[in-house]
Structure formats: structure tokens, C-alpha cells
Amino acid sequence: MTETVSYRRDGDIGIVCIDNPPVNALSHSVRSGLMAALEQSSADDSRALVVHCAGRTFIAGADITEFGKPPREPILGEVLARLDAHDKLTVAAVHGTALGGGLETALCCHYRCALPSAKVGLPEVKLGLLPGAGGTQRTPRLTGLETALELITSGNPMPAPRAADAGLVDKVIEGDDLLAGALAYTRELLDGEAPLRRASELPLQLDDAGRELLATARERLARRTRGENAPQRIVDCLEAAATLPFDEGLRRERELFMACMEDPQSGALRHMFFAEREAAKVQGLPRDTATQPVDTVGIIGAGTMGGGIAMCFANAGIPVTLIDMSDEGLERGLGLIRKNYATSVKRGKLSQDKADAALALIGGSTDYAALAEVDLVVEAVFESLELKQDVFRQLDGICKPQAILATNTSYQDVNAIAGVTSRPQQVLGMHFFSPANVMKLLEVVRADASSDTILATAMAVAKRIGKVPVLAGVCYGFIGNRMLRHYQREAQLCLIEGATPAQIDGAMERWGMAMGPLAVGDLAGLDIGYKARQGLTTEQKGDPRSYRVPDLLVEQGRLGQKSGQGYYQYDPETRKRSDDPAVMAIVEAAAEELGVERRAISDDEIISRLTTALINEGAHILEEGIAQRPGDIDVVYAYGYGFPRHRGGPMHLADHLGTGAMYETVCRYRDTLSADNWQPSELLAKLAAEGKTFAEWQRER
């Protein structure tokens, strides 16, 4: 057939095997091979055809690397139309994951069988797309509208046994020899003279309940997906499936698929897909760099952060010893962990068994000696360099020589921490984000002496505990928090110059941020920033207009959600925020005190100043080599700060808006707002002059 598709016979059954590592994506070679295999199957005297894949998975979808390039025939739609119309019985044999175009291929077979461990799904929405090869038309004909809606708009995969209940899989094959099971199943179907059951020929109608379902879904998705276009277009496709003849529905799906493909949102989401995978790689470190085993972990500090980190490891089956200075501190920390697990069980997010198993892996001690044999220690004590150095001196004396010593600091100098030990090559930063058991981002901070082995180990461990790791260099705030200071500064300046908290947060949330900057401050607690500022010099604190209001709020006891008041008032029951005239009085007084004349500020100005501040600082971070790639910064912002994925992260946004336009905006803000706050990045200036994007700069390096 082709180098990726082969055809052979097992008696009267033809077998087409796709072998296109790593995930059997539907590349041009696979599509051509499938077409050829169908011709062969039609031409020979076989009675049926089994479609299966070599390697770790069934087809994981269209080949995303081909997107954005001119289409090469045969396109997937043509291949699948041919498969759907095949004149011999067809059976898909699924293992691993049948995703996107992969599941659409299986749906064009007359029957589907799968291993119990297999999963099926239509994750296109996560790429800003919709299933474009019949998935929106065939799925509801097999499962009904409700299940199809959930599967396609969530993009989440469904385990094979559930897919069998839902009508997507016809037989779950027990044992681990899928092909033998699939052949036996096919023979059973042939012996029973099973009809060539085409999903495209099954009936589907739109009744009142279906109409109601789709209308509710549109509203729910508009709220939940904040400005994403693909979810609404998916509902349009499902409506077409239920109201139009199959071929017309398919045409409508194709139109809407193409609209998604040309939508910058999909470009941004596809960028995120690859950026996330790229971020896990450390430049200059071969893929097969040896890692150290991490079978036991110690955590210093049983506060909220330490407890959350302990849960991450325990959830992944890794035993943890939590250390705190006092019995009370330790008991409080362990109590908080128990409470968190109980809440997860109550909310149905975790089974009682899994919670019990994880809890059983978390032990506590007040004696550092308990860490003598652990493979990795994560220090999560109060943000003080002296305190952290003291902890590392003790660890150095107690832990085995090859143990990895990590600090969870957000701001401190990891070199200065590593420097107090006799093994700086074993020290790095592992910066978790709060709540640590929920947030996916992990900044792995490389200090000057950190060895390749511990970097590779930290990246691998991060993945094991379900995190998205990004490598960062040592600087104040690393990648994420260093940029955040500039974003927050502009939020504060917009506030004092004329906007209200509700306007700033509302503008950013409508634009797509998970939460506005001031509401985030209230959630985290305004006293945290206040305390941190006390330890800084006037120069380090930056523009005095950018912290006067939060200082006043804290001094009046307004600490944020935890005290019921911050930038907003909070309902004690629902935690719903509402505007508070007292806050505006504080803002106006602060403006007067600092000689700031308040004026009307538009939502567009707020969005532009906050996002441009991120982009300019991101560019500084790249030129200094603190981040490895522009995409890494985008991953940090999407996973750590609620930046809308469909905008692709700050650096992708800069590419989308144009580096030239961004540079001009930074210069305009420098000239009209503040020369101190807006120092254009040299890299941004260079790219603007050369008419290049950050992505192009990255590719050419």
C-alpha cells in the first residue's frame, strides 16, 4: 500500500494495518494507504475488513502538523466516504486512543470493537476545531444528541466500556490480543449475517426535548467557554445532523470546519498544543538523558502550599513525608489535607478508595532526620532567603548525597539557596502554583550549577504528577510572577487613573481571562503582597502609584475574600463579589494624595495596557534567556494565570497583533504614561524592525 499502511489476509478476512508512529495520525501517506487498501479489499475475494493499528494506539486524529498547509488529496472526507460506502463488512479494532479523525474513521466502519483500556473521543474543540470528517453527523446517530453534545463540546475521551453503553462501541474485547479478538468478532458477525450497518443511514430527528437541549447548551457554552467560537459551531453541526439529510449535514459540517480552521482561535489553540509538548523539553538535553529514581519525597512546611504539594505526589502514588517545626503546625497541615480530600470525595471528583490510598501515603514528622533516605525534597517554607538557606543547610547535612533538593520559592534567588549547600548541582527550583494540588503549571528553575540529570528528573517527575513543566532561569519572580508584576502595575494604574475595580476585572474577564487582576488579589489575600512589599526597597517596589491603594485597603483591614472585603464586598455565603463605594473613596483619596488626575478609561485601554505589559516583559525575559522559547511563556500564562488559551498566550498574541504594532504601542506608553515603566525590550524592537514574529525568531535560532 504505502510505507505506513499494509494489507494482508487472515483467511476470508482482510486486515488493514496502520503503522505511523508515534500516534498513527492520518497523514497523507496514511490516507492514501487506506484508500488503496479499500480498493484491494473490494477487488479480492475477502468477505470482511478489519481496520487496526500497530504501536501504542489506534489513530489519534488528523495530522495536526499538516494543518495550515495546502490540502493533499485524498482528503480525509473522501477516504471516509469510501470507507462508509465499502461493500464488505468492516470492523474497527481500537486500542489506546481513537481520537478526532481516528474515531471518525472507526465510526465509518460498520462495527467497532475495543480493548477495555481503550478510550474514544472527539477532542477537536480543544484545538478550536470541530470534527470535520463526519463526527458531528455520525456520533449523534449512534448515541443520541445528548451524549454526542457532551462528547464533542467537552472534547474529553470516554473509556471503552462507557462508549459501549453509549452505542459508540459494539463489543469490548477481553484479554490483550485485540487483533485475535477482533477477527473472532468479525467471524461471529459474518456467521450471523450481520447487515452492513452504516451510521450515516441511521435515523435522527429533532424533537422538542432536543431543541431545548441545544438551546440550553448554547447558553451554557457561551458562559463557560468565554468567547470561543468552536463550541457554538459544534451545536450548529448537531442541529444540522438532526434536521438535514445526512449528505447536507455533512456539507454544513465541512463549511463550519473550514470556518474554524481559518479562525485565529484555532491557530492559537494549535500553537498551545505544540507549545505545551515543546515546553517539557530542555534545550541541549538529549531526550534519553538519564534521570534519577524518585520513589519517596519529603516536603518541608505543612502550610497550604506544602500540603497541596504533598497531595500532588501522593495522588501519583509517591509516598511523602511532611515536615513542620511543631506538632501543632504538622497536625493543622495534615488536617487541611484530610479536609481537601473529603471535599474532593464529596464533590465526586475522587473516589473514597483513591482518597484513602493517597492519604495513606502521606506521613508527617517534626524531625528532619526522617528525610535521610528520600529521593527528592521540596522546601515550601515562608518566603525568606535566610530561612530557606537555613533549611537547605540542614538538608545538606541530613539527606543522602544523590537526593534532589528543590525550593518552591516564588521570588528568592535559587543560586543563593544552592550556594549554602555542599552540592549545588543537586539543587533547583520547583515552583508550584496555588492551589498546588489543582494548578497544572510547574516552573522548574535551573540554577547555575543544577545538573542535567536533576533537570531531566524534575521534568519527568512533573509529568508523572500531572503537571505541565516549564523551564525557567533564575531572576526575581522567574517567568510568571516577573511578568505579573507589570500586568498588576498597569491594573493598579488604570484604577487610580480613573477606572473602577468592576470595570478592570470585567474588561479582562470578557476578554477571556479566567479572573480579573483585582479579583485575583482578593482571592489570594491582599496582605500577602503587603507583607512582601515591607521587605523591599523603594526602588524594588516600583511606581508608588501602583501600590498605594492595596496598602490602604490592607491598613483598613480589607484583606480580600478572607476578611469579606477587599476591592469588593463578598457575600459570606456565596462569595459573590459586589461593588463597594468605600473602595472608590479610598481610590479617589489615593489619587488626590499622589496628584493623579482621574479620567475616563476605556475597556480597550485597560486590555491593551495590561496585555502589552505582559508582552514587553515576556520579550525582556526571552532576550535574557530566562525562558527557553516564546511558547514556554504562553504555556506559563495559560496554565498558571488563566490566560485564555484561544488567544494563545501573550507571545502568540504579540505575533497575531504584529510585533511592529506591539513595539509602537510600548513606545507610545513610554512617551505618554511612564518612561520608567515602559522600557521597550530590545528583542521586540529588533523583531519589529525586521518584520518578524517571535515564532519566526524561535525557528531561526
144, 205 Cβ separation under 8 angstroms: no
For residue 392, the number of C-alpha atoms closer than 13 Å in the C-beta half-sphere is: 28
With respect to ligand 3H9, which residue has the nearer C-beta, 100 or 181?
100
Among all chains, which residue has been given the C-alpha cell 502538523?
A: 65
> What is the length of the chain?
701
463 touches ligand 3H9 (CB under 6 A): no
Each residue 35-74 as x (binds ligand 3H9 by CB under 6 A) or -, in order, gives -------------------------xxxxxx---------
State the minimum distance, in angstroms, from the CB of residue 158 to ligand 3H9: 13
With respect to ligand 3H9, which residue has the nearer C-beta, 60 or 189?
60
**620 is known as an active-site residue:** no
Q: Which of 38, 127, 182, 502 binds ligand 3H9 (CB under 6 A)?
A: 127
* β-strand partners of 442: 432, 469
State the minimum distance, in angstroms, from the CB of residue 32 to ligand 3H9: 15
State the minimum distance, in angstroms, from the CB of residue 236 to ligand 3H9: 16
CA pair distance 544, 555, nearest whole angstrom: 16
Using DSSP, state whether 12 is helix, strand or coil.
coil
Q: Counting beta carbons within 10 angstroms of the beta carbon of residue 469, is it exposed (0 to 12), middle (13 to 18) or buried (19 or more)?
A: buried
Characterise 518 by phi-psi region: left (phi > 0), alpha (psi -120 to 50), beta (else): alpha
Q: Which of 20, 46, 90, 97 binds ligand 3H9 (CB under 6 A)?
A: 97
Q: Which of 5, 91, 98, 104 binds ligand 3H9 (CB under 6 A)?
A: 104
100 touches ligand 3H9 (CB under 6 A): yes
Q: Which of 1, 13, 15, 25 binds ligand 3H9 (CB under 6 A)?
A: 25
132 touches ligand 3H9 (CB under 6 A): yes
With respect to ligand 3H9, which residue has the nearer C-beta, 37 or 62?
62
Cβ partners under 8 Å of residue 116, min gap 6: 159, 160, 161, 172, 173, 174
650-657 and 603-623 helices, crossing angle to 10°: 110
Each residue 328-367 as x (binds ligand 3H9 by CB under 6 A) or -, in order, gives ----------------------------------------
CA pair distance 53, 445, nearest whole angstrom: 40
135 touches ligand 3H9 (CB under 6 A): yes
Backbone φ and ψ for 114, nearest 5 degrees, come out as -155, 150
265 touches ligand 3H9 (CB under 6 A): no
Q: Which of 17, 23, 323, 381 binds ligand 3H9 (CB under 6 A)?
A: 23
State the minimum distance, in angstroms, from the CB of residue 130 to ligand 3H9: 7
State the minimum distance, in angstroms, from the CB of residue 249 to ligand 3H9: 15
CA pair distance 567, 611, nearest whole angstrom: 21
Could you write out the DSSP letters of every residue in 296-363?
A: -EEEE--SHHHHHHHHHHHHTT--EEEE-SSHHHHHHHHHHHHHHHHHHHHTTSS-HHHHHHHHHTEE
With respect to ligand 3H9, which residue has the nearer C-beta, 279 or 475?
279
Among all chains, which residue has been given the C-alpha cell 487498501?
A: 37
Q: Which of 101, 473, 560, 566 binds ligand 3H9 (CB under 6 A)?
A: 101
Question: How big is the site for ligand 3H9, counted in residues (CB under 6 A)?
Answer: 24
546 touches ligand 3H9 (CB under 6 A): no
* Rg of the Cα atoms in the chain: 28
Which of 431, 486, 620, 652 does the annotation list as catalytic?
Answer: 431
What letter does residue 126 receive in the DSSP assignment?
G
For residue 275, the number of C-alpha atoms closer than 13 Å in the C-beta half-sphere is: 30
With respect to ligand 3H9, which residue has the nearer C-beta, 101 or 333?
101
Segment lying near ligand 3H9 (by CB under 6 A), choices 20-28, 470-478, 545-553, 578-586: 20-28
Q: Which residues are near ligand 3H9 by CB under 6 A?
A: 22-23, 25, 60-65, 76, 97, 99-101, 104, 123-124, 127, 129, 131-133, 135, 277
* Residues noted as catalytic: 431
